[in-house]
């Protein structure tokens, strides 16, 4: 006879759908979460296959959502790396990045303008600005070029 706790425990599919109702997940991320909560890997893969066929789970949709969320705040390289860390296939990452107009120079200038807006007054402030922009995935050469010739307000889109 099953205990009351076992009878009320939701099915693996129900747990997966509940997680997907909150936000999109990559297949690998959702698989990892379900297995961490005690699901068997083979059973998890079968449920995830079913959810993909039903359209509830999509790496392409997940990649599009991540790109849309991070556009303008992170470099193209940083966005691709975050998707790669979630085990999204390279082709899916490329499609998601290509579907959005990502211009790293414009994103870098807009982010710098929003966050700082003025040239650094000393080396300490310059290092702080550089560290922040590098943490967002922008190349050091591009950051230094920006700090040598900052964009004017007239140049902003």
Mean pLDDT across 114-124: 93
- Where are the alpha helices (H) located in the chain, listed in sequence order? 4-8, 12-22, 27-36, 41-54, 59-70, 76-85, 90-99, 104-115, 123-135, 140-148
In the structure encoding, which two tokens stand for residue 21, read together?
A: 């109702």
User: Taking the complete model, does pTM exceed 0.85, yes or no?
Assistant: no
Residues 65, 31 share a domain: no
User: Residue 90 belongs to what domain range?
Assistant: 58-102
What pLDDT is stored for residue 151 in this prediction?
Answer: 76
- State yes or no: pLDDT of 5 exceeds 50: no
What pLDDT is stored for residue 140 in this prediction?
Answer: 96
Mean pLDDT across 50-68: 94
Residues 113, 76 share a domain: no
- State yes or no: pLDDT of 20 exceeds 70: yes
Residues 109, 70 share a domain: no
Average pLDDT, the chain: 89
Query: Is 117:138 a contact under the CB 8 Å cutoff?
Result: no
Residue 71 sits at φ, ψ, to 5 deg, of -60, 135
Give the span between the Cα atoms of 149 and 81, in whole angstroms: 28
Q: Give, in degrees to the nearest 5, the angle at Cα 77 between 95 and 153.
A: 105
- State yes or no: pLDDT of 123 exceeds 70: yes
Give the total number of structural domains in the chain. Answer: 3
Residues 130, 88 share a domain: no
Give the span between the Cα atoms of 31 and 46, in whole angstroms: 11
SS3 (DSSP) at 110: helix
Residues 50, 4 share a domain: yes
Residue 56 sits at φ, ψ, to 5 deg, of -80, -25
Looking at residue 44, which CATH number applies to its domain?
A: 1.10.10.10
């Amino acid at each position: 006879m099953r205990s009351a706790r076992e009878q009320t425990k939701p099915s693996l599919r129900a747990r997966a759908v509940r997680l997907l109702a909150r936000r999109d997940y990559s297949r690998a991320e959702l698989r990892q979460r379900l297995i961490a909560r005690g699901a068997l890997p083979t059973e998890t893969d079968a449920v995830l296959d079913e959810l993909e066929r039903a359209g509830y789970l999509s790496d392409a949709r997940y990649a599009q959502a991540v790109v849309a969320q991070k556009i303008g705040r992170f470099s193209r390289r940083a966005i691709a790396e975050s998707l790669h860390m979630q085990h999204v296939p390279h082709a899916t990452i490329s499609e998601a990045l290509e579907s959005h107009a990502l211009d790293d120079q414009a994103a870098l200038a807009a982010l710098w303008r929003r966050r700082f807006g003025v040239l650094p007054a000393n080396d300490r402030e310059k290092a702080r600005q550089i560290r922040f922009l590098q943490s967002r995935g922008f190349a050091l050469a591009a950051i230094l070029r920006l700090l040598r010739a900052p964009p004017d307000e007239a140049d902003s889109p």
